[in-house]
Structure 1
Amino acid sequence: MSKPETPATPANFLRQIVQADLDAGKHSKIVTRFPPEPNGYLHIGHAKSICLNFGLAQEFGGECNLRFDDTNPAKEDQEYIDAIKSDVEWLGFKWAGEERYASNYFDQLYEWAVHLIKSGKAYVDDLSPEQAREYRGTLTEPGKNSPYRDRSIEENLDLFARMKAGEFPDGAKVLRAKIDMASPNMNMRDPILYRIRHAHHHQTGDKWCIYPSYDFTHGQSDALEGITHSICTLEFEDHRPLYEWFLANLPVPTQPRQYEFARLNLNYTVTSKRKLKQLVDEKHVSGWDDPRMSTLSGYRRRGYTSASIRNFCEMVGVGRSNGVVDIAMLEFSIREDLDRNAPRAMCVLRPLKVVITNYPEGQVEQLELPRHPKEDMGVRILPFARELYIDRDDFMIDPPKGYKRLEPGGEVRLRGSYVIRADEAITDDNGNIVELRCSYDPDTLGKNPEGRKVKGVIHWVPAEGSVECEVRLYDRLFRSPQPEKAEEGGSFLDNINPDSLQVLIGCRAEPSLAHAQAENRFQFEREGYFTVDSKDSKPGALVFNRTVTLRDSWGQ
């Protein structure tokens, strides 16, 4: 089956909404925002939101803000803020002005909370979390009013001021909106506006010991920033009535509108930040940027390009129906990008020494090989001499039918050079092959003499001048297409693929790679696409990560 063509204009219903608003004169300029919580690293799902918000702003000549939703200091850290900024920039986007924080608006949000209290639309509640859950009701049964719901405005103002002053311990009281405990929408049943948290904040220090909820912060922050299109994922659709209730009951400067789209779900992938953090904390991976992680920093370290992720997000499109995207589609996107842009090189992952017995001792030929078969990337020099390395898998004493590599008495072509014949295999005391004795045909450099048939072409590197390196073969972190669905009593951790990383030492790369730099990408012929590791690779001790294999399964 042929690979399906990528649609010229993938689905994006928000484009039509934005265009219609501009045509109708509803807005003169589009302003969007990307509002991550700084409690973890960004993952592939965030990439879709980033590309959508920044992409719409770019497409329609508008602006996109980066605003950190920093309302829970107990779980937030400057490390996450720095990583998020780096990831957004790496994807190729720039936010309008300086980065923003919800904490920039804490003073205004507090005043608006006081406004709701004075309007009789908010109250301080003393119910414990357990009692609050009981009073809230269920999806089929209405909730019931808190016994503290009818406190006077004066008492609520006093208690709220004392909450702010730090008189009460964590969890002793909350501020709630007074809406409707019988609403069929659970989010409208007197939602929490403020909680007491005696925690140091990375932006505001110890100024506050009460912090606003996400729902109370989000819409008003949008209004303060003049956001025209507040774009979020479908799980916030039920929160939209509350978003609009706050805007309608507060003296906000603008009236933004919330729109929801389907989040990006990939098979064989976990994107829950809580579970990603668990993988890091319990050392199932080496860190947030482990190349097996679904984080953008992990993909970057593995060798994915920002262009390939942007193209993938565009291919997926933007709709309102949740579904699961095949991870092979993401792999196709990076493979397509690297096929065009990655220079070629040869690296022997499991070296087997070869001695060309009829090649003159001391002679070296400098062979020129193209750095790319189609693009003009120049050439690289590959020395050919009497001793070289091939991959151990490219020689078999008793090969199966259809084997097209080297066997006793058989011939193959060495990529870009000569045809060689295997004459003798040297073994150690345990019967392991440690060296091949071969002969070459000097009339076969770059050509096949008439009537000469050679079974196959294999890669190689010279023994003298080749670069010893470490190669890490990465595979999918999870062996199940739905890793979060564990058997009863189990965990998503049970679905971790034990073979997701294989480390090969003593590999040999061609001399042209001796000075490869961090994040340089190559196609190792017959092996896949690889990148120089940005953390562990050093001059003289190169480490290559396999980005993706050569084989493409998507659409086949």
Structure 2
Amino acid sequence: MTTERNDNDAGAAAPSNFIRHIIDEDNRTAKWGGRVETRFPPEPNGYLHVGHAKSICLNFGIARDYSGVCHLRFDDTNPEKESVEYVDSIVDAVRWLGFDWEKDGKAHRYYASDYYDDLYRFAELLIERGKAYVDSQSAEEMRLARGSLTEPGKPSPYRERSPEENLALFRRMKAGEFKEGEHVLRAKIDMSSPNVNMRDPVLYRIRFAHHYRTADQWCIYPMYDYTHCISDALEQITHSLCTLEFEDHRPLYDWILNELADAGVFTRPLPQQIEFSRLNLTYAITSKRKLLQLVTEGHVDGWDDPRMPTIVGLRRRGFTPEGIRLFCERIGVTKVDSWIDMSVFEGALRDDLDDKAPRTAAVLDPLKLIIDNFPADLIEHCTAPVHPHHPERGVRTFPISRELWIERDDFVETPPKGYFRLYPGNKVRLRYGYVVECTGADKDEHGNVVAVHCNYYPDSKSGTEGANTYKVKGNIHWLSAAHAVPAEVRLYDRLFKEAQPDAGGRDFLEALNPESKRVVNAYLEPGAHALQPEDRYQFERHGYFVVDHYDSKPGKPVFNRIVSLRDSWGKPG
């Protein structure tokens, strides 16, 4: 089976990587009969971030390219931290990124809590076969007896309990007869294993906590390492893709499934765990704990703050699903951890937006420009392309009048060398409009410029024959003051000023960028008041912006800067 794409992203073959090589070989040998089933198994204890986006694109993308299916499974075995809110946010994030979990009319959406009865039954089976036991040590005693990377662990004094005694204790645990921490169920493997994860890991613990799906039905809950591999097998997953931190857990994954296969529960071949490098993105934090800290301590405006690397934050910032998928494709899939610079992420977004974003004019730091010889009651119209590279998308029309708004930095009284914009005696072209000559400026009592004056040349309008007779070096943006739409514009930048905010165990909050959010009152082309939430535009000269889908109101648009026109981070201005 080939790995040609069958979606609308591109017509080229999918990029090759070591995971696809494994799948190609499995298909060649008919290991799974040509079947490819992957899974994306988030825990619903927080909002997904850009690192999850890489896993989503990988798991769902591979299933798509091999005409298989990717399961969406919620790893909900930790009742204290999980909720329906997080489940809903995960569903929305996966769908927004352009993926789904349906095949042949069946929705492959699952929950680990769906398998609680099976997981408990399999645990009893392991106890009966002498492969698991109830340990009555305290958590601290187990920690001390576990050993280290250089010293073997010490067997629990309860390790040799009989299967009958273990089974009775485990059933009493399930019945709620013991306190939290009084007993745990452990796998009976090898306390001297060089892999610490194989030193009799805990399979079940007691938790008197209300579960958002099973309510108070259970007071014992399975551990992730026990649950995950069994969930894969129950769902007949072929390739279980996870990040490199689970590489040392793979022997336990295989041990549990092989023991249950030997007991006749599962048939071989069993799901194969394959690890890949996680996404480490500069100028970002992806630790759920630290992201939660940013929210709870008020350093950001919530999980969907446009500076956050959460998928809801990226969406509100204006990132596109296509741009995120392009980024994940470009960084590829390897087994080597590395850091990806934020500029790569932003570059993929620019490449996606450049072709699709309509153009418009905006003035973010307004200064009044008065054309003294323009009749006070005259209004003319100028035209500009909706997109300079797509004439078929038409033109936009906007008025010019006697009083305009221009950018404040488009005028200086004493120009530096190489400055071609407005200063007394200099000529510039009003983009898509007339050539004007600056005649001076008005100042307030503090010496601040409050208005600039100029005269225009009536035969110099862009698109007319006379325009060609005027040769000027400067070309500035403008808006008619009487017709421009006032708007709030939020200029977002990177949340951290250091590439690796928490490197070396330092306090990541010390690396917060105080200039990561700046709010300005701006003016936009007429018609901006009619834009819809999540409409994206290129503000000519300024960058790409999106209509905020929460705070924009009819007639009162709010825009978020998605990204600037080019990468200038850390470079001299």
Residue number in structure 2 paired with 1:24: 29
- Work out the CA distance in 2 between the residues paired with 1:335 and 1:60: 29
Are the aligned partners of 1:381 and 1:512 in contact in 2 as well (CA < 8 Å)?
no
Does 2:506 correspond to 1:496? no
Query: What are the residue-to-residue correspondences of 1:20-59 with 2, within 5 Å?
Result: 20-28=25-33, 29-59=35-65
Does 2:262 correspond to 1:252? no
Residue number in structure 2 paired with 1:413: 429
Residue number in structure 2 paired with 1:350: 365
SS in structure 2 at match of 1:481: coil
Amino acid at match of 1:233: T
Residue number in structure 2 paired with 1:76: 82
Are the aligned partners of 1:486 and 1:492 in contact in 2 as well (CA < 8 Å)?
no
The superposition leaves residues 75-112 of structure 1 with CA deviations (integer Å, 9 ceiling, x where unpaired) of 11111111111010011001131521000000000000
The superposition leaves residues 12-53 of structure 1 with CA deviations (integer Å, 9 ceiling, x where unpaired) of 211111111112111131111000011111111111111111
Query: Residue 134 of structure 2: which of 116, 124, 139 is its match?
Result: 124
Are the aligned partners of 2:461 and 2:467 in contact in 1 as well (CA < 8 Å)?
no
- Work out the CA distance in 2 between the residues paired with 1:427 and 1:11: 63
Offset at residue 169 of structure 1 (A): 1.9
- Work out the CA distance in 1 between the residues paired with 2:366 and 2:404: 9
Are the aligned partners of 2:529 and 2:556 in contact in 1 as well (CA < 8 Å)?
no
Amino acid at match of 1:112: F
Are the aligned partners of 2:14 and 2:65 in contact in 1 as well (CA < 8 Å)?
no
- Work out the CA distance in 1 between the residues paired with 2:13 and 2:440: 56
Does 2:482 correspond to 1:464? yes
Number of matched pairs: 546
RCO higher in structure (CA 8 A, sep ≥6): 1
Residue number in structure 2 paired with 1:4: none
SS in structure 1 at match of 2:439: strand
Query: What are the residue-to-residue correspondences of 1:478-497 with 2, within 5 Å?
Result: 478-485=496-503, 490-497=506-513
Residue number in structure 2 paired with 1:454: 472
The superposition leaves residues 394-415 of structure 1 with CA deviations (integer Å, 9 ceiling, x where unpaired) of 1111221111211112121111
Residue number in structure 1 paired with 2:207: 197
The superposition leaves residues 138-160 of structure 1 with CA deviations (integer Å, 9 ceiling, x where unpaired) of 00000001111112222211111
Query: What are the residue-to-residue correspondences of 1:99-138 with 2, within 5 Å?
Result: 99-138=109-148
Moved segments of 4+, more than 2 Å: 7-11, 251-254, 447-453
Query: What are the residue-to-residue correspondences of 1:427-442 with 2, within 5 Å?
Result: 427-442=443-458
- Work out the CA distance in 2 between the residues paired with 1:253 and 1:128: 34
Amino acid at match of 1:56: I
Amino acid at match of 2:19: L
Calculate the aligned-residue CA RMSD, in Å: 1.6
Offset at residue 8 of structure 1 (A): 7.9
- Work out the CA distance in 1 between the residues paired with 2:83 and 2:232: 23
- Work out the CA distance in 2 between the residues paired with 1:409 and 1:8: 58
Query: Residue 476 of structure 1: which of 494, 498, 503 is its match?
Result: 494
- Work out the CA distance in 2 between the residues paired with 1:423 and 1:476: 40
Offset at residue 434 of structure 1 (A): 1.1
Are the aligned partners of 1:345 and 1:371 in contact in 2 as well (CA < 8 Å)?
yes
Offset at residue 113 of structure 1 (A): 0.5
Amino acid at match of 1:390: I
Residue number in structure 2 paired with 1:382: 398
Are the aligned partners of 2:528 and 2:557 in contact in 1 as well (CA < 8 Å)?
no
The superposition leaves residues 279-334 of structure 1 with CA deviations (integer Å, 9 ceiling, x where unpaired) of 11111111111111111111111111100110110111111111111110111000
Amino acid at match of 1:43: H
SS in structure 1 at match of 2:565: coil
Query: What are the residue-to-residue correspondences of 1:30-429 with 2, within 5 Å?
Result: 30-96=36-102, 97-250=107-260, 251-254=264-267, 255-375=270-390, 376-429=392-445
Amino acid at match of 1:485: A
- Work out the CA distance in 1 between the residues paired with 2:38 and 2:234: 12
Offset at residue 10 of structure 1 (A): 4.1
SS in structure 1 at match of 2:459: helix
Residue number in structure 1 paired with 2:3: none
Of stretches 446-455 and 315-324 in structure 1, the one that deviates more from structure 2 is 446-455
Of stretches 490-499 and 177-186 in structure 1, the one that deviates more from structure 2 is 490-499
SS in structure 1 at match of 2:441: strand
Normalized against structure 1, the TM-score is what? 0.96
Normalized against structure 2, the TM-score is what? 0.93
- Work out the CA distance in 2 between the residues paired with 1:101 and 1:27: 24
